[in-house]
Homo-oligomer: A and B are copies of this chain.
Amino acid sequence: MNASDRLIESTQELLWERGYVGTSPKAIQQRAGVGQGSMYHHFQGKPDLAAAALRRSAEEMRALNERTLGGPGSVYERIAACLGREREVLRGCRIGRMAQDPEVVAEPELRAPVEETFDWLVARLAGLIEEGRASGEFRPGAPAAELAQALVAVIQGGYVLARAADSAEPFHQAVRGALALLLGQLAEQPE
Binding site for B on A (CB under 8 A): 17-19, 21-22, 92, 95-102, 105, 111, 114-115, 117-119, 122, 141-143, 145-158, 160-161, 163-166, 170, 173-178, 180-185
Contact = CB atoms under 8 A, between A and B. Distances in A.
A173 B160 contact: no
Contacts of A143: 173, 176-177
A102 B182 contact: no
B149 A111 contact: no
Contacts of A158: 149, 153, 157
Given A99-B163, A102-B17, A157 B147 contact: no
Nearest to A175: B150
A146 B184 contact: no
A174 B156 CA distance: 12
Rank and list the top 10 A-B pairs by shortest CB-CB distance, nearest first. Answer: A184-B184, A153-B157, A150-B177, A157-B157, A142-B180, A156-B157, A146-B177, A181-B181, A153-B174, A149-B174
Contact of A146 (B164, B180, B183): B180
22 contacts: A19-B100, A95-B164, A96-B160, A96-B164, A100-B160, A105-B164, A105-B166, A115-B166, A122-B170, A141-B180, A142-B176, A142-B180, A146-B176, A147-B180, A147-B181, A149-B161, A150-B154, A150-B177, A151-B177, A153-B153, A160-B160, A181-B184
Query: Of A99, A148, A150, which is in contact with the most chain B CB atoms at under 10 Å from its CB?
Result: A150
A107 to B, nearest CB: 11
A181 B180 CA distance: 9
